[in-house]
Amino acid sequence: MGAIARRITRVITAVVCVAVSVGVSVATLHVPTREGGGERFNPARYRGDVIADTVINHTTGVDKTQGTGTAGSPYDNKGYFPEAGYTPSDFHAPCSIWTYRDAESVWNCQVSGLQDLDTSSPHVRDVLSDYFVKLLDYGVAGFRVDAVKHMPPEDVLAIKKLVAKKSGRSMNDIWWTQEVIGDNAEAAEIQPRNYLKTGQVNEFQYAYRLKSLFSNSLAGGSLSIKDIPQNITDSGKASVFVTNWDTERNNMTLTYKDGDAYRLANAFMLAYPYGAPNVFSGYEFHDTDSGASGATATSVPDIDCSKDSGWSCTERWPDVHGMVGWHNVAGDAPLSDWQDDGDNMIAFGRGGRAFIAINNSVRTRTVTYHTALPAGEYCDVYASADCSGSVHVRFDGDATLTVPAGSAVAFHIAATPYTVRQ
């Protein structure tokens, strides 16, 4: 998906997706919005595609005897969800996951005490597929599916096939990415590779590697930055990110608190030809359980991207915004002109379309690089949107770049002093 997409359900904005976590448990499959019912939802006003973050493995917790969802839907902890159409027979018998080394336990027991739907049931599959079709009819462009490794791969595939059949779409025309956290210490059956027939998977190892490399040396130890996709999901099936609403709280990935390293990791992700990139926007937090300022159990405040608002609107930062454009111009051009000084500075191009130099060191560096871009003047889109920083590429393709510590210089064929003035 080329343009910026905005995700709903958790709040979001990203190059291919964006999100802000508020915590989710499901009491209904209604789609209420601030404009009214889901039929009044208008993705066009977001100026981009909308990716819906969907939770289909489970519903609400067993700790509350009964309650009412934010859309006014009643539920209880015995499996009665009348507005969704669920009864106790649609759920697995209550049990807790006792080990992630046993796939049946992961698939059939409750994650964090949440009532576990039996996704092998024809009725459950029918209800869930109707929900996806309804979202498509409203104009949603695709889906991120939560907690996928808690469902058997054949169940998830069967649900998507039903969605395709009911909506009159082909499987490939339904954008579908899945949260599957890979861990070699867990059961082989719940690893990401088992879910690739259905769609993309979130590649968590990529985010972990970005943190390791940008927090230390791009030369790496056993793995260098150039080899970051080694032994993980194939590029065409990988959905990648620097951080998300879960990993930013458990210290597994870089976050906005990491400053330059976080910005550079986002720039690298948007420039390097691997996976479908996701830029995460959220809010500032001070402890693991911090919520958004002004949020309640049933509502989320309007996002405020102004300075000192408490919101971290990453996709609006000039450097990240510039790299979104860089990513789109680079398109499917191959990696080219890789240059690495072995001392925390790298540079590479994407054919004759774009070029970037990344300085992860603590001192300003001036280096001459070879590029495949035509001779001329280009805007440094990492520095600003107004071309206040520029780059000269000589007739031999070389460019001498001065890159500040903890920063980058990035340019592409669609951003020149002439195009900015238009």
- The CA-based angle 277-283-286, given to 5 degrees, is 120
Determine whether 227 is an active site residue. Answer: no
Alpha helices in 61-197 (DSSP H): 103-108, 122-138, 153-167
212: left (phi over 0), alpha (psi -120 to 50) or beta: alpha
3-class SS of residue 153: helix
In angstroms, the CA 422 to CA 417 distance is: 9
With contact defined as beta carbons under 8 Å apart, do 115 and 60 qualify? yes
From 49, 116, 179, 248, the catalytic residue: 179
Cβ atoms within 10 A of the Cβ of 288, count? 9
With contact defined as beta carbons under 8 Å apart, do 132 and 53 qualify? no
Cα-atom radius of gyration of the chain, to the nearest Å? 23
From 49, 116, 118, 146, the catalytic residue: 146
In angstroms, the CA 134 to CA 132 distance is: 5
Q: Which residues contact 55 (CB under 8 A, 6 or more apart)?
A: 9, 24, 25, 26, 146, 147
In angstroms, the CA 408 to CA 406 distance is: 7
Q: To the nearest 10°, report the CA torsion of 50, 55, 56, 58.
A: -170
In angstroms, the CA 19 to CA 244 distance is: 7
In angstroms, the CA 219 to CA 360 distance is: 11
Considering only CA atoms, which of 405, 373, 414, 408 is closest in space to residue 389? 408
Say how many residues make up the chain: 422
Considering only CA atoms, which of 306, 300, 418, 398 is closest in space to residue 357? 398
With contact defined as beta carbons under 8 Å apart, do 320 and 366 qualify? no
In angstroms, the CA 247 to CA 260 distance is: 18
β-sheet with 354-359: strand ranges across: 335-340, 345-350, 354-359, 407-412
Determine whether 146 is an active site residue. Answer: yes
- Catalytic amino acids? 146, 179
